[in-house]
Amino acid sequence: MTITNATLSSQGSDTRNSIGRYAGSTATITILADGNLSAENASHHYIGDAGTGIVHVAGGRLSSMRNINLAFNATGNGTLNLDAGTVFVEREFYVGYAGKGYFHMAPGTTLSMRGFSIGEGAAASGVVDMEGTSRIGQHYSLAIGVNGKGVFNIRGGTFNGYGNGSLIVRQNAGGFGLLRGWGSMTAWRGLQNNGLIVADGEGIDRELLISGDNNSSFFANAIDNPPSGTNGFYAVNKGKLTLSPYTSFTFGVATPAFNWGEAAGDEDIDLVNSFRLTVNNAAANGSISASLLAPDRDDVAENSPLPPMPAIGLWDVSFNQDFDSVDFECRYDHMKLPKGHSVTLMRWDPVAEGWEKLQAYDTGTPDAPHRAKADALPPQATPKRIGLIGAFAVPARTLFFLK
C-alpha cells in the first residue's frame, strides 16, 4: 500500500493498526510526500505484530497518539525506515518489543516521542541506525537493551534528551545494550551505563558527545561489571568519547573526588576506561572537561606521538581552576593487555614534547581488578590542564627509561 496526498487514520479506545498482524503474513506500507498514516485517540501502530511489517516514510508523516511497536509479538518482525519526513509518537516507541525490530532514520528527518525502548522483552532484539534529529519527551528515557538486546548506532545525528530524560544502556542484568558511533547525545538528566558505549569514528577523527545536567548524580551504574567483564566505555577507529555533565557544577573544594563514567560515590570503579580523579587543594570550585581517545587518531599522532608500546587507554583531562595536584586512577582495558605485560601510566609533557613515566601503582582488588593509580600530578599549564594521560603495556619486570 502507498499513501500520498491523503490521510489514513485509525480511531478508537485502545485499538491497533496492525501491519503484518498474523504469524506468517507480510505487509508493506509506503508513505510518500503529503501522506499521513495516523493512529488517533487511544490507538497504536503495530508494525510486525505477529508477522512481518514494513513501513517506509518517504516524505510524509507517521504518527500515533499512543505507542508505536515494532515486533510486538515474539514471532513479529517489524521494520520502520524514515527516509524523509517525520515520525511522531505521543507515548512510547518500542523497537523490538517481543520480536525483532529495526528502525533507520536518515539525515534531515525528525523523530519525536516521550519514551524510546530498544530490545524491551527478554527474547526481543532491536537495532536503531540514526543519522537524523531526535527529541525525547520530558521526564522519559532512551533505554537501549531493557531486558533483551538493544543496539543504537548513531552516525552524525543529534538526539536531544529534553533536559529531563535519562539515557540508559543495558537497563537490566539480562539485557544487552550497545551505543556506538559519533554525533551528539545532548541535554540528558543522567547517564546510566551498565553496557557498552563506543565512540567509533569509522576511520576519521570524530567525536561522540554525551552531555547533560550539571549535577553530581549525572553518572550512574546499577549493575557491577565483574572482574573479567568488558562493560564500559571505548574509543575506536579514530573516535573520541566526551562525557560532559559538569559544565558548571561546582567541584573541587567541598567535593574533591570526581568519577568519570561511574556513580559519584563509587570508590571501586569497575567499568572499563572509567576513571576517578581527586583534586588536591583546589583554589575554587570548578568544572572538569574529559575525553577518552582512540590511540589511532590523527590529532594524537600529530600533537602527542605515542611511544613504541601498546596503548591500553588515553584520557585527555582538564580542570578550570588552580590546584596543587591531582590523583588519577583508571580502570584500564585488560583485554588489550598482552600476555606477560603489566600496565604503566604516563603523561604527555607538552613542553618537553615527550611522555613522562608516572609513579603509578596497582589498586585493583579481587572484586574490582585492573586498576592503576598515580598520585600528586602537578598541573601542566594554563588553562590548568591535567593533561593527556595514557595507560601503556610494558613487559613485566622490565626496567626502561624515558628522557
Q: Is the pLDDT confidence value at 3 over 70?
A: no
Give me the residue label for grid cell 530498544: 118
- Which cell is 396 given? 613485566
Interatomic CA distance for residues 300 and 9, integer angstroms: 54
pLDDT at 197: 98
Residue ranges per structural domain of the chain:
1-137
Averaged pLDDT for residues 277-288: 84
pLDDT at 375: 96
Give me the residue label for grid cell 537497563: 171
Lowest pLDDT segment from 113-122, 320-329, 335-344: 320-329
User: 29 near 56, Cβ under 8 Å?
Assistant: yes
pLDDT at 10: 58
Q: What is the pTM assigned to this prediction? A: 0.93
pLDDT digits (tens, 9 = 90+) for 58-95: 999 999 989 999 999 999 999 999 999 999 998 999 99
pLDDT digits (tens, 9 = 90+) for 179-203: 999 999 987 888 999 999 999 999 9
Q: Is the pLDDT confidence value at 12 over 60?
A: no
pLDDT at 192: 95
pLDDT at 382: 58
Per-residue confidence band for 400, with pLDDT thresholds at 50, 70 and 90: very low
pLDDT at 403: 43
Q: Is the pLDDT confidence value at 402 over 50?
A: no
> What value does the mean pLDDT of the chain take?
88
pLDDT at 217: 75
pLDDT at 247: 44
pLDDT digits (tens, 9 = 90+) for 315-324: 999 888 888 8
Q: Is the pLDDT confidence value at 6 over 50?
A: no
Per-residue HEC secondary structure of 45-108 comes to EEECCCCEEEEEEEEEEEEECCCEEECCCCCCEEEEEEEEEEEEECCEEEECCCCEEEEEECCC
pLDDT digits (tens, 9 = 90+) for 154-181: 999 888 877 677 899 999 999 999 999 9
For 201-236, strand residue ranges (E) read 206-212, 219-220, 232-236
Q: Is the pLDDT confidence value at 288 over 90?
A: no
CA dihedral (105, 107, 112, 116) in degrees, to 10, reads 40
Q: Is the pLDDT confidence value at 49 over 50?
A: yes
pLDDT digits (tens, 9 = 90+) for 334-359: 999 999 999 999 999 998 999 999 99
Is the link from the previous residue into 383 a cis peptide, with omega within 30 of 0? yes
